[in-house]
């Protein structure tokens, strides 16, 4: 797929402020509509880089995880009924609503870092009675690795598209830097994911022991 025409369309159609609003709006609203927002994060990386791109995405995520939380509260009993049908997934989600503020914050952070479905947790978390404070803070901390991966992916796409557009190949140092950066990003993501899964398993076992 030719990426440069898409990037050219994006940069010529929208001014930078408007593009920032488009990215913020999609990251904020797409999760509520059960749509993926990762492509918008790529665009943020391509256009704004790590600094502004990170702040823009994080602001959108704050809204994107809050709307389903408050909407889900309107269907609290129905969501609880659904969780009873899927006890394995429910056991993970319910960790978010147990214990004190820090325990809830820790559980939400680990769930966000783990491969647990992002959009599913947005709506179902409210059924655990997790407080909004630890929910929003844990969510924002937990999505940081994903945000950096998305931004890096966008920057890499931009670099490859620029090289293709200018009809020249990347230099050896550029290739090495991109490969090393990509491998480091993947390795870091795997590390955090595995760590989060292990910690969630440990929390589940602790809760099981308390219930015995």
> Which of 80-89, 138-147, 190-199, 200-209 ranks highest by mean pLDDT?
138-147
Of 114 and 135, the one with more pLDDT: 135
Q: Is the pLDDT of residue 195 over 80?
A: no
**Distance set, CA 47 to CA 98, 109, 152, 156 (Å):** 40, 28, 11, 11
Asked whether 14 and 47 are in contact (CB, 8 A), the reply is: no
CA–CA gap between residue 138 and residue 142 (Å, rounded): 6
How many whole angstroms from its chain centre is CA 89?
19
Q: In the predicted model, what is the mean pLDDT of residues 168-177? A: 65
Residues written for the chain: 212
Q: In the predicted model, what is the mean pLDDT of residues 7-36? A: 84
Give the pLDDT score at 1. 47
Q: pLDDT tens for residues 90-120?
A: 777 888 888 889 989 988 998 888 877 888 8
Query: Of the ranges 67-71, 136-140, 164-168, which one carries the lowest mean pLDDT score?
Result: 164-168
> How many Cβ atoms are within 10 Å of 15's Cβ, its own excluded?
10
Q: Tell me the average pLDDT of the chain.
A: 81
**Distance set, CA 198 to CA 106, 110, 118, 141, 191 (Å):** 13, 9, 18, 18, 11
Q: Is the pLDDT of residue 122 over 50?
A: yes
Torsion of Cα atoms, 100 then 102 then 105 then 107, to 10° = -80
């Amino acid at each position: 797929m030719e990426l440069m025409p898409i990037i050219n369309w994006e940069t010529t159609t929208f001014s930078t402020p408007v593009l920032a609003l488009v990215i913020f709006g999609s990251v904020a609203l797409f999760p509520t509509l059960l749509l993926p927002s990762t492509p918008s994060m790529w665009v943020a990386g391509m256009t704004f880089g790590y600094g502004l791109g990170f702040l823009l995405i994080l602001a959108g995520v704050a809204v994107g995880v809050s709307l389903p939380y408050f909407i889900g509260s309107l269907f609290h009993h129905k969501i609880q009924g659904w969780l009873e049908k899927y006890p394995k997934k429910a056991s993970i989600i319910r960790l978010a609503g147990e214990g004190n503020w820090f325990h809830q914050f820790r559980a939400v952070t680990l769930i966000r870092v783990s491969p647990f479905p992002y959009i599913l947790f947005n709506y179902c978390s409210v059924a655990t009675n997790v407080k909004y404070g630890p929910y929003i803070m844990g969510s924002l901390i937990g999505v940081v690795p994903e945000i950096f991966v998305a931004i890096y992916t966008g920057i890499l796409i931009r670099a490859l598209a620029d090289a293709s557009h200018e009809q020249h190949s990347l230099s050896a140092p550029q290739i090495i830097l991109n490969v090393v950066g990509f491998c480091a990003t993947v390795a870091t993501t795997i590390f955090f994911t595995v760590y989060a899964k292990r910690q969630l398993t440990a929390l589940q076992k602790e809760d099981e022991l308390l219930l015995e």
